[in-house]
């Protein structure tokens, strides 16, 4: 491993703060020493960070101690971050997300700040085969990349052009003949280890030039991926993402990457297939929802596309003696009034003495109905909202009385419960307002 080949890479990070992920293994140790080599020349503020996952008993403690002593011996500021990772399925992904969360706090969205990781050429080859059988696209096949940003954090991998063997030889040449080894890496009990320990050795034995051929293949594919990603960067226009026609105009390869730029997360293959299918359909006034990830959804309604990503607020009791209350993105106000006229669909008036002192705020549930004021008909909330052409993305709440009967669907209709009549002695006016959607209080 010729460390001078990394000079141009580190020159780009002159006068920057670089956090090095330091596990104590050969690759992270070599990455840390490489950064240290250029530290003074390029005025780099170098810091080592060790994540203790507490998954290997005393071995985890010994890893942390080794890293601390190594950093102190080389005069590198060092810190340990303890992670509490529950065992079970998805352990590796859970740990990765936990680390990312801490990296965001340390280096996320900060100028002149990045994270160094020790991934090397063999990691990249293993990833290529692992992701190929999972049906990944070109960008994913090439993971990890030398410079890549996730969640506002820039990750640097200066050792991607070197093999595991070259890295270990470099350490020995520089007087480091002892590093931490994770015994689980040698157990053929997971997909990555099977590729590393069984598949690749057989492939290299069958095709002596395979290592060089795969390396050149990855270099060529990276050029192709760079072109597609640059095209996506130019095509990404935040002001147009709410337009169905915009998404239809994008080539599927570019569309997938624009989605990632917009939502800052790699879309699944299932989502992309569903998106393509939706864009081939005729627009509909009835909203159609495409789940993206977690609480994030895209809603297609007519020629518009809406993003829904807030977590649904839990049902909330509203004691009307409390004149104002917040519920998700909505604010509600209650006041006594001399008038029985509602000036907006985001206002409703009731007979205060019949209404009661407590209401329940919640989001509509599938199939819920309301007896509409003036008609006496019991209609589904979804139909009422669609008839009024209210976008699904508004996430309109409903108000219920103490018996759980829906009395008002703000912005849509109100029920025939507690109507104001000639016998009404006190009129209570309820108002709904959302600054986010700029509706309510007569301004809708």
Look up the CATH number of the domain holding residue 42. 3.40.50.620
Confidence (pLDDT) at 58? 83
Which of 106-110, 165-169, 353-357 is predicted least confidently?
A: 106-110
How much of the chain, in percent, has pLDDT values that exceed 70?
Answer: 93
The answer to whether residue 205 scores a pLDDT higher than 80 is: yes
Which of 17-21, 70-74, 199-203, 262-266 is predicted least confidently?
A: 262-266
Q: Are residues 95 and 157 in the same domain?
A: yes
Is the Cβ–Cβ distance between 275 and 299 less than 8 Å?
A: no
Q: At which residue do the structure tokens 């030889």 appear? A: 169
Q: Which of 308, 332, 350 is the last residue of a domain?
A: 308
Instruction: Note the pLDDT tens digit of each residue in 56-70.
Output: 778 888 999 999 999
Q: Are residues 119 and 246 in the same domain?
A: no
Confidence (pLDDT) at 188? 67
Task: For residue 224, tell me if it sits in a domain.
Answer: no
Confidence (pLDDT) at 40? 93
Which residue, 308, 117, 119, 122, is CA-closest to 215?
A: 122
Q: Are residues 169 and 250 in the same domain?
A: no
Task: For residue 227, tell me if it sits in a domain.
Answer: no
Task: For residue 141, tell me if it sits in a domain.
Answer: yes
Enter the tokens of residue 64. Answer: 């942390």
Is the Cβ–Cβ distance between 438 and 358 less than 8 Å?
A: no
Enter the tokens of residue 327. Answer: 């519920």
Phi-psi map region of 135: left, alpha, beta (phi>0 left; psi -120 to 50 alpha)? left
Confidence (pLDDT) at 281? 93
Q: Which of 308, 333, 351 is the last residue of a domain?
A: 308
The answer to whether residue 295 scores a pLDDT higher than 80 is: no
The answer to whether residue 443 scores a pLDDT higher than 70 is: no
User: How far apart are alpha carbons 385 and 357 in whole angstroms?
Assistant: 27
Task: Categorize the per-residue pLDDT at 444 as very low, low, confident or very high, splitting at 50, 70 and 90.
Answer: very low
Which of 147-151, 208-212, 383-387, 408-412 is predicted least confidently?
A: 147-151
User: How far apart are alpha carbons 1 and 176 in whole angstroms?
Assistant: 14
Helix (H) or strand (E) holding 170: helix 164-173
Helix (H, G, I), strand (E, B) or coil at 378: strand
Burial of 68-99, coded b for 16+ CB within 10 Å and e otherwise, reads bebbeeeebebeeeeeebeeeeeeeebeeebb
Counted domains in the chain: 3
Q: At which residue do the structure tokens 């309820």 appear? A: 430
Confidence (pLDDT) at 101? 86
Which residues, other chains included, contact 411 with Cβ-Cβ below 8 Å and sequence gap of 6+? Answer: 345, 346, 388, 390, 394, 396, 432, 439, 440, 444
Q: Which domain holds residue 267?
A: 236-308
Task: Categorize the per-residue pLDDT at 311 as very low, low, confident or very high, splitting at 50, 70 and 90.
Answer: low
How much of the chain, in percent, has pLDDT values that exceed 90?
Answer: 51
Which residue, 156, 142, 158, is CA-closest to 3?
A: 158
What integer is the mean pLDDT of 151-176?
91
Is the Cβ–Cβ distance between 302 and 281 less than 8 Å?
A: no
Instruction: Note the pLDDT tens digit of each residue in 231-286.
Output: 999 999 988 988 999 999 999 999 999 998 888 788 888 899 999 999 999 998 77
Confidence (pLDDT) at 1? 86
User: How far apart are alpha carbons 68 and 54 in whole angstroms?
Assistant: 16
Task: Categorize the per-residue pLDDT at 118 as very low, low, confident or very high, splitting at 50, 70 and 90.
Answer: very high
Average pLDDT of the chain is 88
Q: Are residues 213 and 330 in the same domain?
A: no
Q: What's the CA angle centered on 143, arms 167 and 51, to 5 degrees?
A: 65
Confidence (pLDDT) at 378? 92
Q: What's the CA angle centered on 380, arms 403 and 433, to 5 degrees?
A: 70
Task: For residue 398, tell me if it sits in a domain.
Answer: yes
The answer to whether residue 343 scores a pLDDT higher than 90 is: no
Q: Are residues 79 and 204 in the same domain?
A: yes
Task: Categorize the per-residue pLDDT at 157 as very low, low, confident or very high, splitting at 50, 70 and 90.
Answer: very high
Task: For residue 326, tell me if it sits in a domain.
Answer: yes
Q: Which of 257, 291, 308 is the last residue of a domain?
A: 308
Helix (H, G, I), strand (E, B) or coil at 5: helix
User: How far apart are alpha carbons 303 and 380 in whole angstroms?
Assistant: 24
Q: Are residues 392 and 276 in the same domain?
A: no
Looking at residue 435, the DSSP 8-state letter turns out to be T
Task: For residue 231, tell me if it sits in a domain.
Answer: no
Task: Categorize the per-residue pLDDT at 166 as very low, low, confident or very high, splitting at 50, 70 and 90.
Answer: very high
The length of the chain, given as a count of residues: 444
Q: Are residues 76 and 176 in the same domain?
A: yes
Instruction: Note the pLDDT tens digit of each residue in 35-50.
Output: 999 999 999 999 999 9
Looking at residue 198, the DSSP 8-state letter turns out to be I
Q: Are residues 248 and 291 in the same domain?
A: yes
Q: Are residues 247 and 114 in the same domain?
A: no
Task: For residue 265, tell me if it sits in a domain.
Answer: yes
Higher pLDDT, 307 or 170: 170
Q: Are residues 250 and 320 in the same domain?
A: no
Q: Are residues 213 and 242 in the same domain?
A: no
Q: Are residues 202 and 129 in the same domain?
A: yes
Q: Where are the alpha helices (DSSP H) in 7-141?
A: 7-11, 26-39, 58-73, 91-107, 121-132, 138-141
Which residue, 143, 144, 127, is CA-closest to 192?
A: 127
From the number of C-beta atoms within 10 Å of its C-beta (0-12, 13-18, 19+), residue 42 rates as: middle
Task: For residue 230, tell me if it sits in a domain.
Answer: no
Confidence (pLDDT) at 374? 85
């Amino acid at each position: 491993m010729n460390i001078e080949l990394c000079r141009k890479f580190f020159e780009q990070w002159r006068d920057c703060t670089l956090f090095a992920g330091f596990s104590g293994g050969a690759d992270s140790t070599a990455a840390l020493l490489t950064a240290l080599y250029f530290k003074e020349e390029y005025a780099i503020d170098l810091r080592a960070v060790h994540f203790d996952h507490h998954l290997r008993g005393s071995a985890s403690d010994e890893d942390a101690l080794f890293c601390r002593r190594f950093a102190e011996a080389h005069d590198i500021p060092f810190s340990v971050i303890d992670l509490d990772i529950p065992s079970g399925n998805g352990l590796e992904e859970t740990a990765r997300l936990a680390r990312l969360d801490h990296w965001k706090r340390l280096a996320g969205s900060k100028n002149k700040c990045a994270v160094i990781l020790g991934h090397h050429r063999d990691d990249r080859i293993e990833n290529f085969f692992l992701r190929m059988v999972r049906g990944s696209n070109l960008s994913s096949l090439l993971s990890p990349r030398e410079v890549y940003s996730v969640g506002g954090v820039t990750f640097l991998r200066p050792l991607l052009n070197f093999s595991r063997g070259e890295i270990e030889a470099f350490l020995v040449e520089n007087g480091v003949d002892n590093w931490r080894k994770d015994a689980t890496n040698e157990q053929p009990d997971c997909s990555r280890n099977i590729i590393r320990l069984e598949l690749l050795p057989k492939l290299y034995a069958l095709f002596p030039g395979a290592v060089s051929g795969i390396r050149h293949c990855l270099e060529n594919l990276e050029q192709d991926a760079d072109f597609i990603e640059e095209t996506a960067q130019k095509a990404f226009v935040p002001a147009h993402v709410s337009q169905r026609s915009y998404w239809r105009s994008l080539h599927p390869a570019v569309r997938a990457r624009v989605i990632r730029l917009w939502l800052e997360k790699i879309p699944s293959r299932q989502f992309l297939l569903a998106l393509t299918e939706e864009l081939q359909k005729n627009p509909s006034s009835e909203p159609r929802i495409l789940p993206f990830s977690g609480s994030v959804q895209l809603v297609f309604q007519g020629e518009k596309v809406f993003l829904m990503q807030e977590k649904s607020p839990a049902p909330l009791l509203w004691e009307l003696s409390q004149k104002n209350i917040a519920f998700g993105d909505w604010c509600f106000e209650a006041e006594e009034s001399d008038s029985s006229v509602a000036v907006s669909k985001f206002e409703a008036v009731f007979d205060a003495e019949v209404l009661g002192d407590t209401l329940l705020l919640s989001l509509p549930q599938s199939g819920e109905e309301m007896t509409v004021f003036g008609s006496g008909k019991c209609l589904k909330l979804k139909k009422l909202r669609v008839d009024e052409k209210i976008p699904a993305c508004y996430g309109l709440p409903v108000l219920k009385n103490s018996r759980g009967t829906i009395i008002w669907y703000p912005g849509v209709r109100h029920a025939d419960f507690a109507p104001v009549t000639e016998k009404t002695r006190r009129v209570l006016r309820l108002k709904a307002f959302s600054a986010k959607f700029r509706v309510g209080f007569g301004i809708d």
